[in-house]
A and B are shown apart, each in its own frame.
Chain A
Amino acid sequence: MFKVENLHFTYPKNKEETIKGIDFEIREGEVFGLLGPSGVGKSTTQKILIKILQDFEGSITYKGKNLKDYGRDFYEEIGVGFEIPVHFSKLTAMENLQFFMKLYKNHEEPDELLKKLGLYEDRNKKVGEFSKGMKVRMNFVKALLNKPKMLFLDEPTAGLDPKNARIIKNLIREYRDQGGTVILTTHLMNDVEELCDRVAFMADGKIVEINSPKNLKLQHGDRKVEVEYEMGEKLESQMFSLDDLKEDEEFFRVVKNHRIITMHSKETTLDDIFIDITGGESSEES
């Protein structure tokens, strides 16, 4: 879908490059996570990909064609879901959608999208009267309004309760399953783990790692399993290597002779990997 080669970018008033030669590819039909601490260039990379910043060096192709050769029709192809609400607060939800809808050649029926996101009943309410969670869901409705082939999502579940976050995540998966491509930025590693097929970690204007969440956890984690079991009235725990597990007599003795309370493989968390790879805390980027 997108192929980025040797991308460099410097803001006009800066001396130092913000993007220092990055290469990556976003494959059609995948959810691609772009992660990293604040100020490492995630936002700049996305601004370049959505053609807001034009004066970059290197090559970016979208569907095999130079990104710079696309005109306004590029925006027919993409949907952008912002983290902050982007609505006219004194217009109703329906009026907001009808305004934007008319700018596109193709569009979804707003009623259907509002129903999916649980906002249909409030369609005639001014968006200014919406709760934060409702505004976040409206952002998602707006991103899907033009039947995009590619979605750029920034913190799509931020500020949502678990039920509504689940609805959004299911819709992202549904969108991906129907062939849509997603580039996702989030600091919620749970979302990354649930949604992303591959993730790129950025640090200091460079991409330092690209892989699937599962592979990252395998690479960075310990191949061990911790077994917690009852020993009389006390709880004991023991660690076993996953590599030798089938020949580990002690493991089988514990499993056969004791009541097992918990058994966990000790792969590392994406949060730990994030800190390990990027050298920073997982947080939002400005």
Chain B
Amino acid sequence: MIFLSTLPGVRAVKNLRVLFMGEMQRLQRYHIIAASLVVAVIWIGVLHFTDVDDVTSIFPLLLFLDATSMSITLIGVSMFFEREEHTLKALFVSPITKGEYMISKIIGNIVSNLQTLVILYLYAWFFKEINLNIFLLVFYVIVISVFHSMIGFLLAYRSKSFTELLTGVLKYMFIFLIPVVLEQVGVITGDLLTNLMYALPTKAALLLLNSTTNGVETWEVLYGIAYLIGLSLLLSVVIRKGFEEFVAKESGI
């Protein structure tokens, strides 16, 4: 058993478990989970006060808003607290890798997003009508969470203050989220604009979520998956380098 614990893979899994459990404990204690639940309650309110009984068509849009903006915010806020309390310094002089630290945060984000998905789905299942592929939805929420967690890291370590972090989140929403939502609800039309939307990762995210309910083309689903996973991998390389510099600046005695 002692020998097993010295193997790199086993060590990484053990560290990930400890970091993830710690992350969940802190998300709860710092009331970040509570804030996420409040947002879920707001989404339930939206579902409740919708005139239609069948909420299948608006369900992906609510999940889209949650999985994108909340993923960025959760990472940003939890890292902000760690910077503020200097616990990042303590973490990076303990036997963990930066990769383990980042993965534990991404898993925490996924759990939080899936929690919202389950709450909304249960509400829709019991009190409204809903007809979509829940397993695909879970998979797509994970893909979207991972990508937006990366954006969260990028904003968190580039922001010098909480205000700067929030400004970053708002900028992302204005540039990437709102245009896609406006197109979805029919405010933005025209071939040129709708074609340009495909450059936005948020468009890819919404396509994936929509594909669980209606006729999204197969190529659009494949594009969505490939685009988000590809961008996540690319961002992970960029973030890793920037993160090294961030740790050097934040750490030490």
Contact = CB atoms under 8 A, between A and B. Distances in A.
B18 A102 contact: yes
Interface stretch (A68-76, A110-118, A167-175, A252-260): A68-76
Contacts of B25: 91, 95, 99
> Main secondary structure on chain A at its contact with chain B?
loop
A185 B85 contact: no
Closest 4 CB pairs of A and B: A47-B252, A154-B253, A72-B95, A86-B90
Given A100-B90, A104-B94, A52 B251 contact: yes
Contacts of A103: 15, 18-19, 94-96
Interface string A7-31: 0000010000000000000000000
Interface string A65-94: 000000011111010111111111111000
A67 to B, nearest CB: 14
6 contacts: A43-B252, A53-B248, A76-B95, A81-B253, A85-B85, A88-B26
Contact of B253 (A12, A82, A104): A82
B253 A152 contact: yes
Nearest to A142: B90
Nearest to B30: A90
B5 interface: yes
Given A91-B25, A100-B90, A73 B251 contact: no
Contact of A83 (B245, B247, B253): B253
B93 A78 contact: yes
Given A47-B248, A47-B251, A47-B252, A86 B94 contact: no
A72 B252 contact: no
Interface in A194-216: none
Given A91-B29, A103-B18, A103-B94, 8 more contacts: A12-B245, A72-B96, A86-B85, A87-B85, A95-B25, A103-B95, A105-B5, A152-B253
Interface in B1-23: 5-6, 11, 15, 18-19, 22
Interface residues of B, number: 28
A84 B96 CA distance: 21
B253 A50 contact: yes
A135 to B, nearest CB: 10
A53 B253 CA distance: 12
B18 A99 contact: yes
Given A47-B248, A86-B85, A100 B94 contact: yes
A90 B29 contact: yes
A46 interface: yes
B89 A104 contact: no
B35 to A, nearest CB: 14
A84 B251 CA distance: 12
A146 to B, nearest CB: 8
Nearest to A46: B253
B199 to A, nearest CB: 32
B171 interface: no
B86 interface: yes
Interface string B81-102: 0000111011011111100000
B253 A99 contact: no
B87 A73 contact: no
Nearest to B89: A86
B86 A90 contact: no
Nearest to A104: B95
A86 B18 contact: no
A75 B95 contact: yes
Contacts of A142: 90
Interface in B218-241: none
A159 B29 CA distance: 28
Nearest to A81: B253
A253 to B, nearest CB: 55
A91 B85 CA distance: 12
A80 B95 contact: no
A53 B22 CA distance: 26
Interface string B111-149: 000000000000000000000000000000000000000
Max chain B Cβ within 10 angstroms of own Cβ: one of A76, A99, A152: A99
A165 to B, nearest CB: 19
Interface in A129-175: 142, 146, 152, 154
Contacts of B85: 85-89
A128 to B, nearest CB: 9
A259 B86 CA distance: 58
B100 to A, nearest CB: 9
A87 B29 CA distance: 13
Contacts of A50: 93, 252-253
